[in-house]
Chain A
Amino acid sequence: MGFKNLTVGKRIAAGFGVVLLLFACVVGLAIINANKVSTTMGLSGKATQLVRYVMQARENEKGYAIEKNERFINGLDTSVTSATKLLADVKESSSDDTLLADISQVENLIKGYHAGFKQLVENNKKSEAETVKMSKISDTILSTLSNNITKAIDIKQNMAFVTGQAVDPGYMEVANIADQIAMGFMEARLNETAFIMNNDESFTKQFNKKFQFCGDRNKELIIAINVVKDQDMGKAHDIVESQLAAYLTSFNNLLSLWRSNHQISKQMLLDGDKVIEIANKIEDGAKDDMVAAKNSLINLTSVLFAAGIIAGILLAFLIIRSIAKALNRIIAHLTDGADQVAAASGEVSSASQQLAEGAGEQASSLEETSSSLEELASMTRQNADNAQQADALTNEAGKVVNDVNEKLKRMTEAVNEISRNSEETQKIIKTIDEIAFQTNLLALNAAVEAARAGEAGAGFAVVAEEVRNLAMRSAEAAKNTSDLIGNTVNSAKEGARLNAEANEAFKKNAEAVNKISDLVSEIAAASQEQSQGINQINNAVVEMDKVTQQTAANAEESASASEEMSAQAEGMKNLVTDLITLVGGRSNGAGAHKRSNGRKGLGNIRKALTASREKRETGLPAHPKARGGVIKPDEIIPMNEEEFKDF
Chain B
Amino acid sequence: MTWELRDHDFEQIRSFVYELCGINLHDGKRELVKARLSKRLRKGNFRSFAEYYEFVRTEEGTNELIAMIDSLSTNLTNFFREEKHFDTLREIFPQMLETARVNSRKPELKIWCAGCSTGEEAYSIAMTVNDMADNHNVELKILATDISTRVLRTAVSGVYSQERVKRIPSEMLKKYFQIGVGKWKGYYRAKNTLREMVSFKRFNLMENPPFNALFNIIFCRNVMIYFDKETQRGLVERFYNCLKDDGWLFVGHSESLTGLAHRFRYVEPSVYRK
Residues of A whose CB lies within 8 Å of any CB of B are 361, 363-365, 367-368, 370-376, 378-379, 382, 538, 542, 545-546, 549-550, 552-553, 556-557, 560, 631, 633-638, 642-647
The residues of B that contact A552 with a CB separation of less than 8 Å are 35-36
Known: A553-B34, A638-B184, A644-B184. A542 touches B156 (CB 8 A): no
The residues of B that contact A368 with a CB separation of less than 8 Å are 74, 76, 222, 225
Residues of B whose CB lies within 8 Å of any CB of A are 1-2, 28-32, 34-36, 38-39, 42, 74-76, 153-154, 156-157, 159-161, 173-174, 177-184, 187-189, 222, 224-226, 229, 252, 254-256, 258-259
Q: Which listed residue, A371, A372, A549, A644, touches B31 by the CB 8 Å rule?
A: A549
Ranked 5 nearest A-B pairs via Cβ: A549-B35, A546-B31, A371-B225, A644-B178, A372-B254
Known: A550-B31, A638-B157. A376 touches B75 (CB 8 A): no
Could you list 4 further interchain pairs (A-B, Cβ under 8 angstroms) beyond the known A375-B225, A553-B38?
Answer: A363-B35, A368-B74, A545-B31, A644-B178
Taken together as a complex, chains A and B put the C-alpha atoms of A170 and B182 apart, in Å, by 165
* A375 engages B255 (CB within 8 Å): yes
The residues of A that contact B222 with a CB separation of less than 8 Å are 368, 371-372
Report the minimal beta-carbon distance from B77 to chain A, rounded to whole angstroms.
9
* A372 engages B35 (CB within 8 Å): no
The residues of A that contact B189 with a CB separation of less than 8 Å are 638, 644
Using CB atoms, name the residue of chain A closest to B36: A549
The residues of B that contact A644 with a CB separation of less than 8 Å are 178-181, 184, 187-189
Q: Which listed residue, A375, A549, A647, touches B254 by the CB 8 Å rule?
A: A375
Sample of 18 A–B contacts (CB below 8 Å): A361-B76, A363-B35, A367-B76, A368-B225, A372-B254, A376-B254, A382-B258, A382-B259, A538-B28, A550-B31, A634-B157, A634-B160, A634-B161, A635-B154, A642-B181, A643-B183, A644-B187, A646-B178
* B153 engages A637 (CB within 8 Å): yes
The residues of A that contact B29 with a CB separation of less than 8 Å are 367
* A556 engages B74 (CB within 8 Å): no
A contacts with B: majority SS: helix
Using CB atoms, name the residue of chain B closest to A367: B74
The residues of A that contact B76 with a CB separation of less than 8 Å are 361, 364-365, 367-368
Known: A552-B35, A634-B154. A643 touches B258 (CB 8 A): no
Report the minimal beta-carbon distance from B217 to chain A, rounded to whole angstroms.
22
Taken together as a complex, chains A and B put the C-alpha atoms of A382 and B232 apart, in Å, by 16
The residues of B that contact A364 with a CB separation of less than 8 Å are 74-76
* A549 engages B32 (CB within 8 Å): yes
* A637 engages B156 (CB within 8 Å): yes
Known: A364-B75, A550-B31, A552-B35. A379 touches B258 (CB 8 A): yes
The residues of A that contact B258 with a CB separation of less than 8 Å are 379, 382
Report the minimal beta-carbon distance from B37 to chain A, rounded to whole angstroms.
9
Using CB atoms, name the residue of chain B closest to A382: B259
* A645 engages B161 (CB within 8 Å): no
Q: Which listed residue, B38, B159, B161, touches A556 by the CB 8 Å rule?
A: B38
Q: Which listed residue, B74, B179, B254, touches A645 by the CB 8 Å rule?
A: B179
Report the minimal beta-carbon distance from B196 to chain A, rounded to whole angstroms.
14
* A374 engages B225 (CB within 8 Å): yes
* A553 engages B174 (CB within 8 Å): no
